[in-house]
Amino acid sequence: MTVTIKEVAEKAGVSVATVSRVLNNNPAVSDKTAKIVRETIEELDYRPNFLGRNLRKCETNVILAIFPSSEYSAGLEIVKSMHETASEYGYDIIMATSYDNSKNEMRLLNMLFNRTVDGAVLMSTHLCADEINKISEEYDIALCGEKVDGTNVLTVTVDDVKGAYDAVSELIKEGHTKIAMISTGNEALSSLDREEGYKKALSDAGIEFDENYIFRGGYSFSDGENGYRYLFSLPEPPTAVFAVSDILAMGVAKRALRSEKGKMPKIIGYDNIPLCESYSPTISSVSQPARDIGREIIKKLIENIKSENKCREHIIMPHKIIRRESF
138 binds a second copy (CB under 8 A): yes
Q: Single out the residue of 25, 42, 56, 278 in contact with DNA (rule: CB under 7 A).
A: 56
Q: How far is the CB of 300 from a second copy (least distance, A)?
A: 21
Q: Kindly report the number of other CB atoms within 10 A of residue 72's CB atom.
A: 21
- Mask: binding to a second copy, 215-254, rule CB under 8 A, as x and -? ------xx---------------------------xx-xx
Q: Single out the residue of 51, 209, 307, 318 in contact with a second copy (rule: CB under 8 A).
A: 51
- Type of residue numbered 222: S
How far apart, in whole angstroms, are the C-alpha atoms of residue 119 and residue 141?
Answer: 6
CB 246 within 8 A of CB 185: no
How far apart, in whole angstroms, are the C-alpha atoms of residue 60 and residue 114?
Answer: 11
How many chain residues interact with a second copy (CB under 8 A)? Answer: 53
The tally of CA atoms less than 13 A away on the side-chain side of residue 114 is 8
How far apart, in whole angstroms, are the C-alpha atoms of residue 165 and residue 179?
Answer: 12
15 binds DNA (CB under 7 A): yes
For the segment 16-55, give every residue that binds DNA (CB under 7 A).
16-21, 23-24, 28-30, 32-34, 48-49, 51-53, 55
264 binds a second copy (CB under 8 A): no
CA dihedral 264, 269, 273, 278 (to 10 degrees): 10
Q: Single out the residue of 18, 20, 97, 284 in contact with a second copy (rule: CB under 8 A).
A: 97
306 binds DNA (CB under 7 A): no
In b/e form, how buried is each residue of 120-140, taking b as 16+ CB within 10 angstroms?
A: bbbbbbbbeeebbbebbeebb
CB 152 within 8 A of CB 212: no
Q: How far is the CB of 306 from a second copy (least distance, A)?
A: 16
5 binds DNA (CB under 7 A): yes
61 binds DNA (CB under 7 A): no
How far apart, in whole angstroms, are the C-alpha atoms of residue 262 and residue 232?
Answer: 11
* Residue 320 contact among a second copy, DNA, none, beta carbon within 5 to 8 Å by kind: none
Q: Which residues pair with 66 in a beta bridge?
A: 96, 122
* Residue 95 contact among DNA, a second copy, none, beta carbon within 5 to 8 Å by kind: a second copy
By CB under 8 A, name the binding residues for a second copy.
1-2, 47-55, 58, 60, 62, 64, 70-71, 73, 76-77, 79-80, 83, 92-97, 99, 107-108, 110-111, 113-116, 138, 221-222, 250-251, 253-254, 257-258, 274-275, 277-280
